[in-house]
Amino acid sequence: MDVRFTPEQRILRQSVKQVINRLGLSAVADLADEQRAARLDEAVEESDWRRLRAPDEAGNPWASGVEAAIVAEALGHGLADVPFLGPTLAMELRRLAKASAATGRETVGLRRNLSALASPGEPAVAIDAACAESVLLLAADGTLASVKLRGQPAATDLTRPSVPIPTAEAVTVGSLTEADRQRWIALALTLTTADLVGSMQGALDLAVTYAGQRAQYGKRIGSFQAVAHLLADAVVHIEGARAALLYAAWGVDALDPWDAVAAAASAKAYAARAARSVCETCIQVHGGIGNSWECLAHVYLRRTLLATDVLGGVGPNLARVLEHVGLKGRL
């Protein structure tokens, strides 16, 4: 694989960054600015980024997993408080199931513990639930069901509201083969990994900026060896996670479904372990203000915690990798 982005991919990444720089968060107080959020949501909607995995005439996605990951990473970096992950995964489900398009906004639902896919009758939660009208649930047997969304979103992650789903009201709308189900899991793991990588980079950028401004004992704290080592370790974590992400994003469409899941699970496990460390480093570099509501550091931490839980963190994804190795060994 070639890890270099094509000119079109570089333009895509730059386009997302430009939108985020103009309409994204610059302070925690911006989360309450409904007009800004509406303008950001409109910009994302008009860009068609949520439809990157929509089917073309042949049923193939318009964009690869790499392009979808580029958008997810850039949105995570800017703490974009508009839906992307849920609608994109819902679009992929409908493409794979060849189900008819739904009216209105749609997101994707997962089990409440977010370590496995949902089954009707089990507690479930919709991620990226803001303005969503319906939810798609994928059962372990490949059955695809739709549920009308009700209730007020919760705000564990201040940038991506979630809401419980009444799974008993699920209506079957299609089904996936086991290969397609694995392909969807690979994309879901890849996009959550991309969100983690972007959030980690955003947290590091925040810490570096603060370390270059904050003075103590007559010097910028970034010049202190202890602080510099913390930031350097964060860079190593992020670059390792990004390398794993690029392979996983490429593998979504290039590898067979089970190999793609193994690659994505490896990347997710690495990024999930690294994300908490990087975000806690960001808070530590900020010192006392890092634990205050006004500092964006805790918003990055909240976002990474939810992205980690979606389809599992370190343990469940290492188990996926080990299961894959066991299957390959029996072939």
| 236-287 pLDDT per residue, tens | 999 999 999 999 999 999 999 999 999 999 999 999 999 999 999 999 999 9
Q: What is the pLDDT of residue 115?
A: 37
| Alpha-carbon gap, residue 206 to 228, rounded angstroms | 14
Contact 194, 76 (CB under 8 A): yes
Where are the strands (E) in 112-183, listed by range? 124-127, 134-138, 143-148, 163-165, 171-175
Q: What is the pLDDT of residue 309?
A: 86
Three-class DSSP category at 85: helix
Torsion of CA 255, 257, 262, 264, to 10 degrees: 80
Got the DSSP string for 261-311? HHHHHHHHHHHHHHHHHHHHHHHHHHGGGGGSTTSTHHHHHHHHHHHHHTT
Q: What is the pLDDT of residue 171?
A: 87
What burial letters (b/e) apply to 252-279, b meaning 16+ CB within 10 Å? bbebebbebbbbbbbbbbbbbbbbbebb
Q: 54: which 2 tokens?
A: 């929509």
User: Residues 18, 267, 257, CA angle at the centre, nearest 5°?
Assistant: 105
pLDDT < 70 positions in the chain = 1, 100-104, 110-123, 327-331
Q: What is the pLDDT of residue 117?
A: 55
Three-class DSSP category at 155: coil
Instruction: Note the pLDDT tens digit of each residue in 275-289.
Output: 999 999 999 999 989
Residue with tokens 């270059």: 212
Instruction: Please name the residues in contact with 4: beta carbons below 8 A apart, sequence gap of 6 or more.
Output: none
Instruction: Please name the residues in contact with 66: beta carbons below 8 A apart, sequence gap of 6 or more.
Output: 5, 9, 246, 249, 250, 252
Q: What is the pLDDT of residue 329?
A: 57
Q: 234: which 2 tokens?
A: 């964060």
For each of the domains in the chain, give its residue range(s) and CATH number, in order of start: 180-330 (1.20.140.10)
